[in-house]
Structure 1
Amino acid sequence: MRDKKLLHPELQAKIALLEKELGKENIKIGWAETLRTKAEQDNLYAKGRSKPGPKVTNAPGDSYRSMHQWGIAADFYLIMDIDGDGQTKDDAYNNAKKTFNRVGQVAKKLGLEWGGDWRSIKDLPHLQLSQWGSTPTKLIATYGTPKKFMKSASWGTSSGKKAAGNASKAQKNTDKAATRIKSAQSFNKAYAGVYKAAANCNLMAGPGTGVVATLEKGTQVQCYGYYTKKNGKVYLFVQAGKKTGFIQKEKLNK
């Protein structure tokens, strides 16, 4: 499938940011693969087996071993005239100018994992959310099937999807002098809401690292449910005015 709206809400938001950032460099991309159904995975698995052509995957549909089946991965292609012949269709996967590498670099700044960094089989067009690891092992152990994952709080309800999108957009730090904001690793809808600083505290670029700003007692912050757990402590990813960052949950009152 090529419909971006079928992807995890956080990935949708980060794709939107990616396209915007690439536009500033006159790089235009399209999406060749987003969510992959069980039937589509089975069709790929059949190639080189029951269907003609080389083998392209060792994962049948019911194994759920493709990140695409979980809605957290997408493959892009170029919509650019790389070779200067006046056409773009023949350059969809032309990396002569290392354009795929540049897209990967920008994507990583937004917290995405790029397949071009993989050691075994490099997958230059592939991007995915990073918080569940490079393979579906953790997702399978936690949820069993993509269907259950998509019904969980980690995916979100209709309102949760909106919150996830807002949180992802908020991760773009507006304070250029500050350390680049890290990505939150988990989502819990119960953590979403408005908080106030219980005492003077720091807004951090990551869990316990990199001061973005100092917040006075009573400062109001917004959390959209994203957080990272480190050394047994929960750090909420919050928005304070125009700035974003992490604050230890126990330092906030809801």
Structure 2
Amino acid sequence: MKLKRFGSFMFILFLAIFVYLYIASQMQTKKQPVSLPTGLNPMVKAATNQLIQQTAKKGITVVITDGFRSAEDQDQLYKKGRTAGGTIVTYAKGGESFHNYGLAVDFALKTPSANVIWDRNYDGNQNGLPDWDEVVAIAKGLGFQWGGDWPQFKDYPHLQMDFGLTLADLQNGQRPPGSSLTSK
């Protein structure tokens, strides 16, 4: 009889320890909210300024049409062509774009008559090369990746620096060097 009680006691003790360890592990693995940056990464900003300066020397005026974008702004942009009027311009919801982490900019060209255009064949400096291609080449030389190289959704105005980080890394709190909010 004592052996039976001891066995029951051990089973209950084992079960209690298991439940305690399970609850403790769940509490430790719950993700803390990850703060998002609030502006363009300083290294991306510096490279963007260099892009503008270097293209100007070639007679090309680049306009940055978008840089840092909050998750809320991203969600509004995602609604275009879906629940809001217009055409689809992005497949990324808030937190799913490098813009949300201050690591991307979008650009356009400005003509001498001050029109902002996205014409990839425009040759405003009349050197026989599309200005768009010249901008992309300079951007790549500065370390940017170009959305026009993507295999699926081609995002021709998009330039980004990922610093070797994926969106999953960024969503989990990792940040590149120079970010105002870096992971610990």
Q: Which category describes the TM-score, using the shorter chain as reference length?
A: 0.5 to 0.7
3-state DSSP of counterpart to 2:52: helix
Bigger Rg, which one: 2
Change (3 A) 1:27 1:46: same
Code of the residue aligned with 2:161 in structure 1: it is L
Contact 1:132 1:139 in 2 (8 A): no
The alignment-based identity, stated in percent, is: 32
Question: 1:77 maps to what in 2?
Answer: 108
8 Å Cα contact 1:72/1:129 also seen in 2? yes
Q: In angstroms, what is the RMSD of aligned CA positions?
A: 2.7
Residues 23-172 of structure 1: matches in 2 within 5 Å? 23-61=56-94, 64-81=95-112, 87-89=113-115, 92-96=117-121, 97=123, 98-133=130-165, 136-141=167-172, 143=173, 149=175, 154-156=178-180
Which is worse superposed, 118-127 or 101-110?
118-127
SS in 2 for 1:32: strand
Counterpart secondary structure, 2:119? coil
Give the TM-score normalised by structure 1.
Answer: 0.49
Alignment: residue pair count? 139
Deviations, residues 188-238 of structure 1 (Å, cap 9, x unaligned): 9xxxxxxxxxxxxxxxxxxxxxxxxxxxxxxxxxxxxxxxxxxxxxxxxxx
- Classify 1:60/1:122 alpha carbon distance in 2 versus 1 (closer, same or farther; 3 Å): closer
How many Å apart are 1:105 and its aligned residue?
0.4
The one-letter code sitting in structure 1 at the alignment partner of 2:131 is T
Q: Distance in 1 between matches of 2:91 and 2:144?
A: 24
**3-state SS of 2:107 partner:** strand
Offset at 1:56?
2.8
- The amino acid of 1:28's aligned partner reads T
- C-alpha separation in 2, matches of 1:117 and 1:93: 17
Indicate the residue corresponding to 2:45 in structure 1.
12
Where structure 1 has 5 or more consecutive residues not aligned to the other structure, the ranges are 82-86, 158-186, 189-254
Deviation at 1:53, TM superposition (A): 2.5
Runs of 4+ in 1 over 4 A off after TM superposition: none
Q: Which residue of 2 aligns with 1:175?
A: none
- Secondary structure at 2:65's aligned position in 1? strand
Give the letter aligned to residue 94 of structure 1.
D
Q: Distance in 2 between matches of 1:30 and 1:12?
A: 13
Contact 1:66 1:136 in 2 (8 A): yes
Structure 2 residues without counterparts, runs of 5 or longer: 1-37, 124-129
Alignment of 1:184-199 (within 5 A): none
Distance 2:108 2:83 in 1: 28
